[in-house]
Amino acid sequence: MGRRIPLALKLGVAFVVLILLAVALVYFLTARSITQQFDEYRQESREKFGQQLADQLAWYREWNGSWKGVLERMLTRPTLIAVGDQVIEGNALIFDVPITLADRDGRIITTTENVRYNELIDALREAQEGSAILEEWLANWEGLYLAETEIDEGIPIFVDESREGTLLIGDVEPEYGPDEADFLASAMSSALLGGGIAIGMALVLSFLLIVQILSPLRVLSRATDRIAHGDLPDRIRIKSRDELGQLGSSFDHMVDSLRRSETLRQTMTADIAHELRTPVTIIQGTLEAILDGIYDPSSATIAPIYEETLHLGSLIDDLRDLALAEAGELRLVREPTDVVELIRQVSEAAGSSVEQSPNVVVESTDDIPVVSVDPKRFRQVLANLLSNALIYTPVGGEIRVDIRKVGESIEVSVADTGPGISAEDLPHLFERFYRGDPARGRTGGSGLGLAIVRQWVEAHGGTIRAENRPEGGARFVLQIPIS
């Protein structure tokens, strides 16, 4: 058997792993989103800057009438550089992004882009070293013109709806400046701090959740251990409104059922012993009297022994039927049966078996079909119900058996005019060995008859209930499905 791993450890490790993975994923997505959005912001700023610069250059072109002096006046500013004791005047670029300006024909007027600027300087140096005239060379040098794709992608500069030039803004450098790097570092630190706080809060909540889950489980575990050792605990009463609370309620219900079952088992054992002891005692006493010569072995002395053996055999058969019912092994021999005729036969036999019996009336509607039942068991059910009704109905009273079709079932009602059933007895009439209120006039009986009746009715797929009639007396109603 492998080593037992506590559930708390499993849940703790699972929660920690999930929390770390979730926070790491959130941090990665957040960092990526911040960087991506920051790059998009830089690009939008570059485009906005380009459009604003193009508007300023358009104003300069309209004001100046040409592009002459645009570099000195618009793109650079005077600056002083100290070299030792000397101060040198020069020009410094205003903008830190590469800028290229071309005229209406696409010829480059000025540029701060390093590559283009270096090409221009090298070409000028070569021209000065040669014999060509610089102006002629500049007019014919194709390298000073923008490509068509650059003109299409550049920002047009319009003056009075006429395109006078094209502005190219170089790509933003992929490396971030100090300020930008500080901003991104601050954003990442905030995301990391937020992730750390989230991890801490998640761990605390996970701990509380694990405690909330394991606490009732430990209570249930201790309670089940007590049950396994034969000790039924009190109700555990888990105060929770979730599945654990429902589990606790089900467990309490199970304990109550076990306690009732144990009480019923003890009561049933005592009742069985009592029911078996009575006929056995009579048989034993009578036989001892015969053996001692007190009674003669005649028909008169042997007849009570025979009657008690019949009673004992009937009791044993009832107990067997109940055992088969509890095991789900009741077997029916079904055959198409005219239930109306069967009920009339049983009613006539029951009425003639008792001297001065109440009047037994059987009534039925005309739409009662033939039903597939076990005639022997169905007869047993009806005989038991009629026997009880005959015991409880006074002389001169009436027992009514009504048969009718209700939906897809046959309903049989057996009603008497006796004292009825007390409210305390109604819920327990079909329990084994239950004996009702003696005030109803019950004499003898093992307390198994109605329990057997319910088992056989349910074996047919039907139902049975007991109730009191409004006009007085008891009524038993059973329903048997037609199909």
Which of 111-120, 180-189, 315-324, 355-364 is predicted least confidently? Answer: 111-120
Q: Report the alpha-carbon distance of residue 301 to residue 308 in Å, rounded.
A: 12
Q: Give the pLDDT confidence of 261-304 residue by residue, as tens digits.
A: 777 677 767 777 777 787 888 888 888 888 888 888 888 888 88
Q: Report the alpha-carbon distance of residue 475 to residue 368 in Å, rounded.
A: 21
Average pLDDT over all residues of the chain: 79
| Pairing between β-strand 398-406 and β-strand 359-364 as defined by DSSP bridges | parallel
Q: Report the alpha-carbon distance of residue 55 to residue 110 in Å, rounded.
A: 17
Q: Report the alpha-carbon distance of residue 224 to residue 255 in Å, rounded.
A: 10
pLDDT at 130 over 60: no
CA angle in degrees (0–180, nearest 5) for 29-30-31: 95
Q: Are 141 and 123 in contact (CB under 8 A)?
A: yes
Q: Report the alpha-carbon distance of residue 143 to residue 153 in Å, rounded.
A: 18
Residues 83-103 have a mean pLDDT of 71
Q: b or e along 346-383 (b: 16 or more beta carbons within 10 Å of the residue's beta carbon)?
A: bbeebbeeeeebbebebebeeebeebebbeebbbbbbb
pLDDT at 421 over 70: yes
Residues 412-419 have a mean pLDDT of 91
Q: Report the alpha-carbon distance of residue 262 to residue 254 in Å, rounded.
A: 12
Q: What band does 139 get if pLDDT is binned at 50, 70 and 90?
A: low
Q: Give the pLDDT confidence of 350-395 residue by residue, as tens digits.
A: 877 666 678 889 999 888 899 999 898 898 889 889 888 888 888 8
Q: Give the pLDDT confidence of 191-237 residue by residue, as tens digits.
A: 788 878 888 888 888 888 877 777 777 777 777 787 777 777 776 76
State the pLDDT at residue 312: 82
β-partners of residue 388 are: none
Six token digits for residue 253: 């219900």
Helix (H, G, I), strand (E, B) or coil at 43: helix
Type of residue numbered 127: A
Of 364, 365, 363, 361, the closest CA to residue 347 belongs to 361
Domains of the chain in start order, with CATH, are 7-169 (no CATH), 243-326 (1.10.287.130), 335-481 (3.30.565.10)
High-pLDDT (> 70) share of the chain, %: 81
Six token digits for residue 10: 């499993």
Task: Read off the pTM.
Answer: 0.46
Q: Give the pLDDT confidence of 439-455 residue by residue, as tens digits.
A: 444 444 556 778 888 88
**Phi, then psi, of 93 in degrees rounded to 5:** -65, 140
Stronger pLDDT, 94 or 414, i.e. the higher one: 414
Q: Report the alpha-carbon distance of residue 282 to residue 280 in Å, rounded.
A: 5
* Cα distance from N-terminal residue to C-terminal residue, the chain: 54
High-pLDDT (> 90) share of the chain, %: 9
State the pLDDT at residue 439: 42
Of 467, 445, 442, the closest CA to residue 392 belongs to 442
Six token digits for residue 89: 């005047």
| 85 secondary structure, DSSP code | T
CA angle in degrees (0–180, nearest 5) for 72-76-79: 105
